[in-house]
Amino acid sequence: NAGVTQTPKFQVLKTGQSMTLQCAQDMNHEYMSWYRQDPGMGLRLIHYSVGAGITDQGEVPNGYNVSRSTTEDFPLRLLSAAPSQTSVYFCASSRGLGPEAFFGQGTRLTVV
Amino acid sequence: SQELEQSPQSLIVQEGKNLTINCTSSKTLYGLYWYKQKYGEGLIFLMMLQKGGEEKSHEKITAKLDEKKQQSSLHITASQPSHAGIYLCGADSNSGNTPLVFGKGTRLSVIA
């Protein structure tokens, strides 16, 4: 059972480039979320989804897009990367908003 | 919006010593979750507290929820190097319709 899988683990982008961070879960969880973790800031919610076809914004959504075409996948798109988006990104999934969330191993993104 | 404040921000303890980490919410707690993050890795779920006065233990880690104080504490007995990492508390929002809000974390180091 793989749980929550994030790819890539590391990425360096140039300012203005676009890319997609992949997140897949094999637990048939309805709820999936993207967080970013920055020093001194903790985990901040970017976008989340409560089911296929349904997404909503979190605390820091600007500069990011998401879609949820399947239950398993929840990709995060950076439209035009900026140095302020240098961070560690975590994807999480859960059966609901109450039960515990399972986290991926993270994607460390550097924008130069 | 709900905010969680963790204290201390960092902690260095000698192996074998006990320690306590606190998590205080700005609003009523409907559910409190403790996670541990090893350096450079994802978050591992430790335990969930939902009722005032509830106390749970896992090996040498005990967490309590004080609903009136809107606070939870995580206590580690006889700390070991394996306990080192970042401990984060997360909470359900008031609406219960969004993913967890997290504190900024407490970085624990255990020295021999």
Question: Where residue B13 sits, what CATH number does that domain have?
Answer: 2.60.40.10
Q: Is A39 on the interface with B (CB under 8 A)?
A: no
Strands (E), chain B: 4-7, 10-14, 19-25, 32-37, 43-49, 55-58, 61-66, 71-76, 85-91, 101-102, 106-111
B95 touches chain A (CB under 8 A): no
Is A102–B45 a contact, with Cβ atoms under 8 angstroms apart? yes
Q: Is A89 on the interface with B (CB under 8 A)?
A: no
Q: How far is B93 from chain A (nearest CA, A)?
A: 10
- B35 to chain A: which residues are within 8 Å by CB? 103
A43 and B88 within 8 Å at the Cβ level: the answer is yes
Q: CB-hemisphere CA count at 13 Å for A72?
A: 5
pLDDT at A1: 62
Asked whether the beta carbons of residue B42 and residue A59 sit closer than 8 angstroms, the reply is: no
Q: What share of chain A is helix, strand, coil (3-state, %, to 5)?
A: 5, 55, 45
What is the identity of the amino acid at B87? Y
> What burial letters (b/e) apply to B82-96, b meaning 16+ CB within 10 Å?
ebbbbbbbbbbbeee
A31 touches chain B (CB under 8 A): yes
Measured between beta carbons, the chain A residues lying within 8 angstroms of B5 are none
Phi then psi dihedrals of residue A68, to 5 deg: -140, 85
Name the residue in chain A with its Cα closest to that of B97. Answer: A97
Mean pLDDT of A94-110: 87
Identify the pLDDT of residue B95: 60
Three-state DSSP class for residue A65: strand
- Total domain count for chain B? 1
Nearest C-alpha of chain B: how many angstroms from A81?
A: 22
Q: Which domain holds residue B107?
A: 4-111
Tokens of A42: 């903790």
User: CB contact, 8 Å: A101 with chain B?
Assistant: yes
* The pLDDT value given to residue B41: 85
Instruction: Report the pLDDT value the prediction gives residue A4, as an integer from 0 to 100.
Output: 95
- The DSSP bridge pattern shows strands B61-66 and A31-38 to be unpaired
Closest CA to B41 of A61, A66, A58, A6: A6
CA gap A55, A58 in Å, rounded: 10
- In chain A, residues with a C-beta closer than 8 Å to the C-beta of B105 are 42
pLDDT digits (tens, 9 = 90+) for B14-57: 999 999 999 999 988 878 999 999 987 889 999 999 878 889 99
CA distances from A61 to A48, A78, B61 (A): 10, 10, 35
Asked whether the beta carbons of residue A90 and residue B43 sit closer than 8 angstroms, the reply is yes
CB of B91 within 8 Å of any CB in chain A? Answer: no
Give residue A56's identity as a one-letter amino acid code.
Answer: D
What confidence tens digit (pLDDT) does each residue in B50-107 have? 878 889 998 899 999 988 889 999 999 999 999 999 999 998 765 666 778 899 999 9
